[in-house]
Amino acid sequence: MLRRLAAILGGTDSGPIVAGLVAQAQHDPEFAVRFRERFITRRREILRALLERGKESGELRADLDLDLAIDAFYGPIIYRLLFAHAPLDEAFADALAGELLRSFISMHSGRPDEQETP
CATH number assigned to the domain comprising residue 94: 1.10.357.10
Q: Among 79-83, 89-93, 101-105, 109-113, name the one with the lowest average pLDDT.
A: 109-113
**Tens digit of pLDDT for each residue in 21-48?**
999 999 999 999 999 999 999 999 999 9
Is the pLDDT assigned to residue 10 strictly greater than 80?
yes
**Burial label, 47 (beta-carbon count in 10 A; 0-12, 13-18, 19+):** middle
Structurally, how many domains does the chain consist of? 1
The Cα 84–Cα 77 span in angstroms is 10
Report yes or no on 114 lying in a domain: no
Report yes or no on 117 lying in a domain: no
Number of separate helices (H) and strands (E) present in the chain: 6, 0
